[in-house]
Structure 1
Amino acid sequence: MKVSQLLPNNINFTLYGHLIQRCTDRRLTRQAKQLHARLIISSTTADNFLASKLIAFYSKTNNLSSARHVFDKIPHKNTFAFNALLIAYSVHHNHIETLKLFTSILSRRDEFLDLAGVEPDSFTLSCVLKAMSEVSALDGPLSARMIHCYVVKNGLHLDVFVGNGLMTYYSRCDDLLSARFFFDEMPERDLVSWNSMISGYSQGGLYEECKDLYRVMLGLRDLRPDGFTAVSVLHACAQSADLVFGMEVHRHVIDNRIKMDLSVCNAIIAVYAKCGSLDYARELYEEMSEKDEISYSTIIVGYMVNGFVEDAMKVFRGMSNPGLSTWNAVISGRVQNNQYDNVLDLVRQMQVIGLKPNSVTLSSILPAIPYVSHLRGGKEIHAYAIKINSDKNVYVVTAMIDTYAKLGFLSGAQIIFDRAKDRSVVVWTSIISAYAAHGDADVALSFFNKMLHSRTKPDSVTFTAVLSACAHAGMVDKAWEIFDLLPKSGIQPLVTHYACMVVCLTRAGKLYEAVEFVEKMPTEPSAQVWGALLNGAAESGNVELAKLVCDHLFELEPENPTNYIVMANLYAKAGKWEEAERIREKLSDTGFKKVAGLSRIETSEGLHSFTAGRAANERRNRMS
C-alpha cells in the first residue's frame, strides 16, 4: 500500500501502527515521517498504540525530542506509552530523563489511574533500575529504598527481571549485603541472577564470596556457568592470587566447551600472569588469533606485577597504537615497581599523541609525585583533576590525600577529605594513615571514632593505620583496645596487626610483654613480627634477645641484609667486636651490599637527587 492511498478520514490506527513499525524495521525514514505528517494534517491525535510505534521510530532515528513530543500529545497515557518512551531513553543512555519520567508517573499516579490506568509494571521497573545502575544515587531523583519498597508493595519482587535489576543496582553501589539479601529472597533465579551476584562480589573485591557462590552454582541441576560467569570468577582468582582455583575454572571452561571469546581468553591469561605463571600466560597470549587492547594490557600488567618491567615495556613498545588503558597499565606498573623517574615523561608522551589522562592515570601517577616532584607538582595534578571532574573519584581522592600527606601538606589532605562526598572505607583509611604517619595519634584516633559513628565498617588496613598511630605515640592501652576490636569487627588479626602491637609494646619499654605476646600468637610469627621484636631488642640494647630473634630471621629471610646490619651494630655497641665482625663476614658472604642513601633537595629548578658516596655533582655550584 502506498502512502498516497491512505486517506485522512476514518483512519485505522492499528493499520497505521503496523505500517510505521514496518517503516521502522526497514529503515524507511522518509515514508514513516510522511505517515506521521498525514496524521498531523488530518488533526488526528494518536492513541497509545500508534504513539508508541511513532516513539519507537523516532528513537531508532536518534530523534528523542520528536519522540517526547509525540508522547506529550497523547491525551490519556497508559503504561504501554510510558514504557515506549522509557525504552527510548534507556537505549540512548539518557538515564536522568528515564528517572525523571518515572518520578512523574509516581507523583501523578492517582490522577492518571482514573483516566487511563497507568500502573508501572515489571518492564517499567527494569528500565528504571537499569538507569539507576548507571548514575550515582546522588545524581538521580530516586532512591533504591523507594524503588525497593514500591517493588515489594506491588508484588513485583516476584518478577525475575525486576529482581535482577534491583540486585544489579545494589551491586554497582557497593551495597553487596542488600544485593545478597535480595538474591537469597528471590523465589526464582535465572542465569542473569547468578551472574549478577557473582559479578558483584568480583567487582566489589569480595573474592572469596565470589568463589564460594560459584561453587554453589556448580551444584545446580538446571543452570550452568557460562562465559560471563567464568570471567567474573577468573577476575576474582587473579586479584586474590588464587592460581589453583583459577586453573579449576579454566578446566571447567574447556570441559564444558564454553566459548573462548576475547573476554574469556583475557581473563584466563590474567590469572596465570598475575599469579606468576608468566611463561604459560605468554604462551596463551601468543596463541590468540585475535587480540584487543585488554589482551595487551593484561600481559603487560602480568609482567609488571611480577617485577619484569623491561619485558612489559617490550610488549608496550611493540604495539602500533596503544590506547589509554594500556598507557595507564604501563604508568601504574612503573610506579608499583618504584621506577618513578620516567613516569611523568610517559604522561607527556601520551598527551602528545592525543590521549588525555583520566582518573585512572591521575591515581596512578600521584604516588610518584613525592619522589619526582614537589608540592607544586601535586597541586598541579590536583588542579587538573578538578578541571576534568575527577577530583571526586574515590581513587583520586585517596591518592591525593596520601600524596599531600607525604609532601607534608596535611592541611591540603584535610581539605580533600572534607570535600569528599563518597567517604568509603578507603577514604577514611587514607586520612587516618596520613595523620598516623605524621605521628599525630590523637587526630588519627579521632577520625577513627568518627568513622565508626558514620557506620562505615573499618577493614584490616584501617586497623593497621590506627595501631601504627598508637605505636608511634606509645599508647599501649589504646592499642590493646583497638586490637581487641578486630574480632568484634569480623576481622581475623593479620601479621601486620601483630607487628604493630609488638612495636607499640617495645617502644613503651614493655619488651618482655612483647616477647610473651609473640609466643602466644595463634600462628607461627612471620619475619615482619620477628623484625619488629628485633628492633625493640636493639633499641633497648638486649643482645641476648636480639640474638635469639635473629636466629629466626636468618632462617626465614636469609637474604635480608637489614637483619645482619642491626645485629652487627648491636654487637659493636655492646663491645662484642668479634661477634660483630663475624656477622659482617656472614653478610659479605651473601654478596649483599648496603643500599646507598638517597637525598633530595628542592631548588628553583625543581627537585634534585643525591646518592650517598658520590664525590661531586655537576650542578652543585648552581645550587649553592
Structure 2
Amino acid sequence: MKIAVAAAVTRTTQQQKVQITNAFATLYHQFNGLLDCRVCGHLLQQCTNHRLTRQGKQIHAHIVLNSVNPDNFLASKLLSFYSKTGNLVEARKVFDQIPHKNIFSWNAMFIAYSLHEQHNETLNLFSSLVKVHIDEYAPPKPDNFSITCVLKALSTLFPDSKIAKVIHGFGLRHGYLCDIFVVNALVTFYAKCGDLGFARRLFDSASEKDIVSWNSMIAAYSHGGLYGECLDLYREMVGSTGLIPDGLTMVSVLQACAQSNNLAFGSKVHRYIIENNIKVDPAVCNTIIGLYAKCGNLDYARELFDEMEIRDDVSYSSMISGYMNHGFVDKAMELFHKLQVPALSTWNAALSGLVQNNFHDGIPELLREMQAKGCRPNSVTLSSVLPTFSHFSHLKAGQQIHCYAIRNNYGGNIYVASALIDLYGKTGFLHAAHWLFKECRTKSVIIWTSIISSYAAHGDADAALTLFTDMLTCGVKPDPVTFTAVLSACAHAGLVDTAYKIFEAMFPVYGIIPSLEHYACIVGVLSRAGKLYEAKNFILKMSVEPSAKVWGALLNGVSVSGDVELGKFVCDRLFEIEPNNSWNYIILANLYSRAGRWDEAERVRDKMRNMGVKKISGCSWIETSGGLLSFIAGDVSSRKIEDIDEVLELLVQMMREEGYVATIEMDEESVFCTESA
C-alpha cells in the first residue's frame, strides 16, 4: 500500500513537470519566443508551488536571454521561486537588479530571509529600506509584512523586553497594530523576552484573533512554564471561539501536559485529535509519544512509537528519555543501539539519561563512541556529561571539556558554564570556579546558584551568603535550588537564626513553597548545632510527610551525639520508609555499641541479616597520572597498601591534633565487613 501511494505521488509530480514543460513550450511557440512578464510570472508560480527547480531556472534563463526587463510582479515571483527552492544568493541577485522596487519586491526578499532564519540579513535589509525611505522621493513604506519579518528577527536575536516595547510604541504610532500579523509577532516577541504579562495584555486587546493569535499565546505559556494558564487558554479557545485547533496548538498543549505530568488532560487532547481528524504530522506524533513516556505510560508510548511509519531523531529521543526518566536504562540503551547512526539529540538523550540514573561509569565510553562515529558534542552534550566528571572529581577530563567548549564557542552557554563552575567547585578549585563565574556575561539564576553551591559545599558560609545578597541586589530571583544551596551553607556554619530567617521568607517574599529538600536543610542546620530535639519537633510539625532525607538529616546529628533513644526513634521511622538501606542499621548498631548495649546491637545485626540487607562498601576515586583510580572500604589489594596505611595514619594523627573527632570509629565500621560476604 505504501509503495503504491509513493508511486502515485511520484507520477503526480512527474505529470506536473511534463504539463508545465509542455505549457512553456506551447506558449513559447505561440509568442514566437517572446513571453511577457505576466506569462512568465504565472509559470514561475507553478514551478514554486510544485518545487520544479529545473523548469523554474529554465524560465529565468529565458528571461535573461531575451533581455526581458522584469517588472516588480515578475521579480517577486522570481524571488519567491528561489527562496522556496533554497537559493537565497540567486534571490538576492534578482532583488538587487530590480530598478524601481515597490514594497512587494522588498517584502518578497524579507520573507525569503525570514523563511530561512537569516535574521541578520533581515535587519540589514530593513536598514536599507529605511535609508531608501529617507533619501528618495515617494519611496516604498514598510507595511505589515515587512514589520512582521523584522519582529521575528529581533525577537530571535535580541529577546529584550525594552526593545519589544520600543517596537510596540512604533507600531502604535504608525498604525501597524491594526494588523493581526503584527500583533501576533509582537505577542511572540514579548513571550521570548519572558514578559508573559505584556504578551497576554496585548493578546486580550486585539480586536480580532485568528488561529495564529491563539497559538502564539498558548505556545508562550507552554514554553514559559505556565502550564495551567496554557491549558486554560486552550479550553477557552476550543469552547468559545469556534476555531479548530491545528497541529501547532496541539504540540504546545501536549508539551504543557507532559511537563506538568497531567496525563488525564493530555489523554483528552489526544482523543480530541483523533475524533476531529486533526492532521497528525511527525511533530504532533512525537509530542504524543513524549507525553505518555514522560508520564510513565511507557508501554502505550512504545506501542505508538512502533506504529509510526517514519521515525525521526525526535521520536527516538522522546522514547529513550521516557525510559531513562523512569529508570529503565537497559530498555533505553537497547533502543538506542538499534540506531546505526544516531542523531546528536539522540546521543544527548542517552548520555543525559545515564547521568540522571547515576550510570556514570558508562559515560566516557559512550562519549568516545559518539566521537568515533563522527558526531561532535554540542552545548547540551557538554552540560549533560560534566556532572559525571564532577562525580568522579576528575579535574583533567573537566579541563579538557572546558577547552573544547572554548574552542567551539560553547563557553558562554549558561548550562555549560554552570556545570563547569560546579566541577571546579567540587574538585576544590574555588578560585577557578569564581573566575569562571565573573567571566559570565549573563549571570542567570543557574550561574549564581552554581557558585553559591560551590562555596557552600566547602563550608564557606560567609562567601555563600555574600553571593546570595549580591544576587538579590542584582535583581535575580532565587529558585528552589538556590535556597537549598544557601541553607546548606548555613548548616555547615551552624547559622541557625539565619537559616530560619531565609526559610521563612521563601514563600511570603519569593513565592516558593519549601520542598522536602529545604525541610531537610533546616533539620541539618539544627542537628549540626546540637539542637536535636528542636529538630525532632520541627519534623513532627511539618505540613508534609517527612521523607527519608529529612529523618536522615536528624540521624546524622544523633550519630555524633550518641543519643541512643532518639536514634532508635529516628531509625524506626527510617526502617518504615527505606527498609533496605543498610546505613540506618549500621548507625543504630553503632549507637548501641558505643553505649555498651551489646545485645541490642546484635539484634540489629540479626535483623539486618534476616532481611537480607547487605552493607554496601563505600567507594571513592582519586585522580592519578594514569587516570582515575577507584577503591573501596577495606580494600587491601593494592601493592602499595603499606604506604597507604602509613599516610592514612599520619592524616588521622593530624586530624586529631587539629581537634577533629571521628563520628564512627574505624573498627566499628569493620564490624559489618564480614556481614556482606
Aligned partner of 1:558 among 579, 592, 596: 579
Seen in structure 2, the aligned counterparts of structure 1 residues 310 and 54 have a Cα distance that, compared at 3 Å, is: closer
Distance 1:353 1:519, change over 3 A: closer
Residues in 2 aligned to 1:104 and 1:211: alpha-carbon distance in whole angstroms: 43
CA distance in 2, matches of 1:230, 1:279: 22
Deviates more, 1:211-220 or 1:60-69: 60-69
Do the aligned residues in 1 keep the contact of 2:393 with 2:427 (CA within 8 Å)?
Answer: no
Aligned letter for 2:146? T
Return the alpha-carbon distance in structure 2 between the equivalents of residues 329 and 283 of structure 1. Answer: 20
TM superposition shift of 1:84: 2.4
Matches within 5 A, 1:416-495: 416-487=436-507, 488-495=509-516
Aligned to 2:341: 321
Per-residue displacement from partner, 1:579-615 (whole Å, max 9, x unpaired)? 3322332222322112111122222211111122434
Deviations 1:433-467 (A, max 9, x none): 12211222222222222222222221111111111
Query: Counterpart of 1:548?
Result: 569
Change (3 A) 1:266 1:405: same
Question: 2:149 matched to 1:127?
Answer: yes
CA–CA separation in structure 2 for the residues paired with 1:200 and 1:421: 26
Corresponding residue of 1:32 = 60
8 Å Cα contact 1:241-1:275 kept in structure 2? yes
Does structure 2 retain, via aligned residues, the 8 Å contact 1:564–1:583? yes
Q: Do 2:44 and 2:77's aligned partners in 1 also have CA atoms closer than 8 Å?
A: no
Question: Is structure 2 residue 124 aligned with structure 1 residue 100?
Answer: yes
Say whether the 8 Å CA contact 2:159–2:189 is kept in structure 1. no
Alpha-carbon distance change, 188 to 373 in structure 1, aligned in 2, over 3 angstroms: same
* TM-fit CA distance, 1:338: 1.5
CA positional deviation for 1:51: 4.9
Please say if residues 17 and 50 of structure 1, whose CA atoms lie closer than 8 Å, have aligned partners that are also in contact: yes
CA distance in 1, matches of 2:257, 2:640: 50
Mapped partners of 1:3, 1:146: distance in 2:
56
Paired with 2:62 and 2:246, the residues of 1 have a C-alpha distance of 46
- Aligned mates of 2:304, 2:56 — CA distance in 1: 47
Matches of residues 476-555 of structure 1 in structure 2 within 5 Å? Answer: 476-487=496-507, 488-555=509-576
Q: Distance in 2 between matches of 1:3 and 1:391?
A: 62
Tell me the distance in 2 between the aligned counterparts of 1:251 and 1:619. 66
SS of match in other structure, 1:601: strand
Which whole-Å deviations, capped at 9, do the CAs of 1:76-126 have from their partners, x for residues lacking one?
A: 6543332222122223332101012223445665545xx225332221121
Contact 2:41 2:73 in 1 (8 A): no
Q: 2:387 aligns with which of 364, 367, 370?
A: 367
Judge conservation of contact 1:436–1:468 (CA < 8 Å) in 2: yes
Report the alpha carbon displacement of residue 38 of structure 1 after superposing the two structures with TM. 5.8
Counterpart CA distance in 2 for 1:285 and 1:462 is 38
Query: What corresponds to 1:165 in structure 2?
Result: 185
TM-score by length of 1: 0.88
Structure 2 residue ranges without an equivalent (≥5): 1-26, 48-54, 648-677
Pairs within 5 Å for 1:96-245: 96-106=120-130, 109-112=133-136, 115-137=137-159, 143-245=163-265
**Which of 590, 594, 610 is residue 589 of structure 1 equivalent to?**
610
Change (3 A) 1:82 1:615: same
Q: Is the partner of 1:219 in helix, strand or coil?
A: helix
User: 188-197 vs 47-56, which deviates more?
Assistant: 47-56
Q: Name the CA distance, whole Å, in 2 between partners of 1:48 and 1:28.
A: 17
| Equivalent position amino acid for 2:363 in 1 | V
Q: Indicate how the Cα distance of structure 1 residues 592 and 434 shifts in structure 2: closer, same or farther if over 3 A, else same.
A: same
* Residue-by-residue CA offset, 1:285-326 (whole Å, 9 max, x unaligned): 333333222222222222222222222222222223322222
Aligned partner (choices 588, 599, 624) of residue 578 of structure 1: 599
The answer to whether the 8 A contact 1:24-1:60 is kept is no
Report the count of equivalent residues: 611
Instruction: Work out which of the residue numbers 94, 104, 112 in structure 2 matches 1:80.
Output: 104
1:510/1:373 Cα in 2 relative to 1: closer, same or farther (>3 Å)? closer
What are the superposed Cα offsets for residues 16-51 of structure 1, whole Å, 9 maximum, x if unpaired? 3553453464344244345356668xxx7x765565
Cα distance in structure 2, aligned partners of 1:472 and 1:202? 39
Map residues 13-52 of structure 1 onto 2, 5 A cutoff.
16=37, 19-20=40-41, 22-23=43-44, 25-26=46-47, 27-36=55-64, 48-49=72-73, 51-52=75-76
Between the aligned partners of 1:258 and 1:55, the Cα distance in structure 2 is 33
Written as runs of structure 1 = structure 2, the 5 A alignment for 1:290-439 is 290-372=310-392, 374-439=394-459
8 Å CA contact 1:58–1:64 kept in 2: the answer is yes
8 Å CA contact 2:40, 2:59 repeated in 1: no
Q: How much has 1:503 moved relative to structure 2?
A: 1.4
**Residue range with higher mean Cα deviation, 189-198 or 470-479:** 189-198
Deviations 1:317-369 (A, max 9, x none): 22233222222221222122222222122111122222111112111111111
Which whole-Å CA distance do the structure 2 matches of 1:107 and 1:431 have between them? 47
Q: Distance in 1 between matches of 2:141 and 2:192?
A: 27
Tell me which residue corresponds to 2:623: 602
CA–CA distance in 2 between the matches of 1:148 and 1:589? 72
Q: Cα gap change, 1:256/1:67 in structure 2, threshold over 3 Å: closer, same or farther?
A: closer
Task: Give 2:123's aligned amino acid.
Answer: L
**Cα distance, 1:552 vs structure 2:** 2.8
Q: How many angstroms apart in 2 are the aligned matches of 1:262 and 1:215? A: 24
Looking at structure 2, the residues matched to 419 and 479 of structure 1 have their Cα atoms a distance apart, in angstroms, of 30
Compute the TM-score of the two structures, normalised by the length of structure 2.
Answer: 0.81
Distance 1:572 1:229, change over 3 A: farther
Tell me, yes or no, if the aligned pair for 1:359 and 1:396 is still in contact at 8 Å.
yes
Secondary structure of the residue aligned to 1:342 is helix
Secondary structure, aligned partner of 1:416: helix
Q: Partners of 1:460 and 1:213 in 2: how far apart?
A: 27
Instruction: Give the alignment partner of residue 114 of structure 2, picking from 90, 103, 106.
Output: 90
Displacement after TM superposition at 1:54 (Å): 5.1
Structure-2 residue corresponding to 1:265 = 285
Letter in 1 for 2:631: F
Deviations 1:118-165 (A, max 9, x none): 332221121112223443549x9x933322221233332342222221
Q: What is the distance in 2 between the residues matched to 1:144 and 1:547?
A: 61
Does the 8 Å CA contact 1:24/1:32 hold for their aligned counterparts? Answer: no
Farther-moved stretch of structure 1 (388-397 vs 63-72)? 63-72
Counterpart CA distance in 1 for 2:272 and 2:73 is 48
Provide the aligned C-alpha RMSD in A: 3.3
Letter in 2 for 1:99: L
Deviation at 1:534, TM superposition (A): 2.8
- 1-side partners of 2:529 and 2:127: how far apart? 61
SS of the residue corresponding to residue 608 of structure 1 reads strand
Confirm or deny: 8 A CA contact 1:20 1:35 kept in the other structure.
no
Task: Supply the distance in 1 between the matched residues of 2:606 and 2:264 (Cα, whole angstroms).
Answer: 42
Equivalent residue letter for 2:553: A
- Asked if structure 1 preserves the Cα contact closer than 8 Å seen for 2:390 and 2:422, the reply is no
Change (3 A) 1:610 1:30: same
Query: How much has 1:377 moved relative to structure 2?
Result: 1.1
d(CA) in 2 for partners of 1:402 and 1:510? 31
The whole-number CA distance in structure 2 between the counterparts of 1:223 and 1:562 is 59
Q: Which runs of 5+ in 1 are unaligned?
A: none
